[in-house]
Structure 1
Amino acid sequence: LQCGPGQSRPSPRTAPGSPRRRGRRRRFAPCGPHDELITSVPDKKDSLCQQDDQSQGGDIDIFRAGSTLRDIWCLVHSLMPLCDSAHSACVSRTFLRSWRCHPKLIFTEETLGLKRTEARDFTSRVNQILKNHSDTGVKILEFVFDDRNNVNTCHLNSWLQKAVTPGIEKITLFLPWRYREEYNFPCSILLDGRGNSIWYLDLTNCAFHPMVGFDCLRSLTKLRLYGVCITGDELGHLISNCFALEELQVWCCMELICSTIPFWLQRLSCLTVSECDMLRVIESTAPNLTTLDFFGEPVQLVLRESSKVKHLKVGYSYTPNAVSYAITKLPSIAPHLKTLAIYSSSELCRRLIPQW
């Protein structure tokens, strides 16, 4: 990954739109005053149904209650791409109800069906979708847009306020580079239990300033920060109560000077720190840290209780004797090393690496 004002990080994976079939449309006969789509219950003589009747004593129908059938429709609806889900909501009231609590809200130009000439319609499309959503049931939330979408930060705040509700599990926010200092990710949306169910948080090009006592991400297992304006103290406030954290990635966070990983993050096993130009010290006491990746200028590495690191990958750029430093110093810092990978763009090392 590369960073900088003139470079961009690869866009995260988004839900691909499914191609529409151009065959004949199947006509459904309306049922009742609401013209809802229905599926017929298999006849009792059907072999599968007979098998189910025998296993259940013969008196329980697999579609016994309407709620069970609605759950099936909701499951089918949740597996559809966003655009197809929205279109299907126009077909029946059953899909309309499930659309209003759709669990996956992934907003990209692709999922919204926007052409390049329609890029500025991003805001109106998202507004319309969230207006018809019930504010409940969201599990996955993603916003991915660039400068041509011209999204106002006030709109972004209102979208997050509406979509981040108790039970949400995954949040991805991918903003253009210029938002890095313009937009502050609102900590308030994680209060009142709304952040306690989040296990994945991925923020790109924004500011994030959690205060002392921040305690809103107790289920978080994976945290990824790219181009985020956050200090070492604020990062400490963010992760200090993330007792379930297993993987931490910090990329291009230029305000970091010292990064400290506390002892009580006992589930943390993977740490990646890359291209944080102002960083001088990485100190970790997490007892089960086994994989550490570092890319950038050499820093002071203090592992203490994290000396059990087994896999260490370092990449240095434009630093004289970086390879020599890595192969002579790092094994003593991490005596349990099994693999050490060294990358350097400024020197070519032909000497044999000593055994340790």
Structure 2
Amino acid sequence: MLQRRKGRVLSINMIVMDIWWHIHSLMSLRDAAHAACVSRAFLRSWRCYPNLTLDYDTLASETCASEMRNSDKIDCILKNHSGCLKALTLNLNCISISHRHLDSWLCLAVKPGTEDLTLLLPKRKYNFPCSLLSDGVRNSIRYLEIGFWGELECLLSNALSLEQLAFTNCMEITHLKIPCQLACLDITAWQRLQVIENKAPNVSSFCLYGKISKVLLGDTLHMKNVTLGRSNAVCYARAELPFIVPNL
């Protein structure tokens, strides 16, 4: 009888904890961190917080105010996390880091179950460690946003479930081939890119900022939203898009 009661109490406690953790996951990152400082339950929940956005503004806030360098703060947060991240944003444009640090953070944070990954880096090339994209990871990633990148072909070929892709300032790439599983594509400010070749039949949204010499959109039957930011955009849209994207 005592064992049954203990089992029921344990089950109730687990249900209560699940409710608390769900509430905690709905808070903003800053509020969730504040709550973790005053509650043991929320402290445990903080280590499982599903969506982390780590940038200069967040790390310089009162929540994280300390003598630690920003790179050390990121290191501490990710090392103390349980590794169950659903979404991770690392905006490192104003943070001094080494590639060794970034490799380590990605190994800690990108696991099977991670769906959204945003990496905004300083203006230098970075080779993504494609070994991180194990079977579990490449089957879970749905949204990817990257800036200043290398090894792009390796990345795209291993992200099998990718549905949304956004690029910013990828300086080295001249010819971009889009895989066949994407639904949304966003490309901004590419200096050397000359050709975009789309092989994805289900792209419904296409956003392009910058003048590209050649855009091969392929099958556009599902495309309904197009955003262009370029010189002569209106003339280009009127002259070309009715034939290229009939369902726009």
* TMscore range, shorter length: 0.7 to 0.9
Q: Secondary structure at the match of 2:206?
A: strand
Query: RCO greater where, 1 or 2, for CA within 8 Å and sep 6 or more?
Result: 2
**Quick one: distance in 2 between partners of 1:208 and 1:99?**
33
**Quick one: distance in 2 between partners of 1:326 and 1:92?**
56
Q: Secondary structure at the match of 2:53?
A: strand
**Quick one: distance in 1 between partners of 2:142 and 2:210?**
25
1:132 paired to 2:74: no
Give the corresponding residue for 2:225: 291
1:229 and 1:254 in contact (8 A); partners too: yes
1:164 paired to 2:110: yes
Give the corresponding residue for 2:179: 240
1:142 paired to 2:106: no
Percent of residue pairs bearing the same amino acid type: 31
**Quick one: distance in 2 between partners of 1:190 and 1:97?**
28
How far did residue 260 of structure 1 move?
0.9
Distance 1:332 1:215, change over 3 A: closer
Q: Secondary structure at the match of 1:111?
A: helix
Q: Secondary structure at the match of 2:104?
A: helix
Distance 1:335 1:114, change over 3 A: closer
**Quick one: distance in 1 between partners of 2:74 and 2:11?**
37
**Quick one: distance in 2 between partners of 1:125 and 1:164?**
18
- Choose from 260, 272, 280 the match for 2:213: 280
**Quick one: distance in 2 between partners of 1:332 and 1:101?**
48
- After superposition, give the CA deviation of every residue in 1:38-67 in whole Å (9 maximum; x if it has no partner): xxxxxxxxxxxxxxxxxxxxxxx9x95222
How far did residue 333 of structure 1 move?
3.4
1:69 paired to 2:69: no
- After superposition, give the CA deviation of every residue in 1:59-96 in whole Å (9 maximum; x if it has no partner): xx9x9522211111111222233344344334444223
1:120 and 1:150 in contact (8 A); partners too: no
How far did residue 130 of structure 1 move?
1.3
Gaps of 5+ in 1: 1-60, 299-313, 316-322, 339-356
- Choose from 239, 251, 254 the match for 2:188: 251
1:171 and 1:200 in contact (8 A); partners too: yes
1:219 paired to 2:142: no
- After superposition, give the CA deviation of every residue in 1:122-161 in whole Å (9 maximum; x if it has no partner): 11111111121122x20110112334x2122221221111
Aligned residues: 238
**Quick one: distance in 2 between partners of 1:326 and 1:129?**
46
How far did residue 289 of structure 1 move?
2.2
- Choose from 71, 93, 96 the match for 1:123: 71
Give the corresponding residue for 1:266: 201
Q: Secondary structure at the match of 1:202?
A: strand
TM-score, with length taken from structure 2 = 0.80
**Quick one: distance in 1 between partners of 2:77 and 2:197?**
41
Give the corresponding residue for 1:88: 35
Distance 1:185 1:119, change over 3 A: farther
Give the corresponding residue for 1:101: 48
1:223 and 1:249 in contact (8 A); partners too: yes
1:209 paired to 2:155: no
**Quick one: distance in 2 between partners of 1:112 and 1:192?**
32
Q: Secondary structure at the match of 2:56?
A: coil
Give the corresponding residue for 2:4: none
Q: Secondary structure at the match of 1:89?
A: helix
How far did residue 326 of structure 1 move?
6.4
2:25 and 2:50 in contact (8 A); partners too: yes
Distance 1:246 1:230, change over 3 A: farther
Letter of the 1:125 counterpart: K
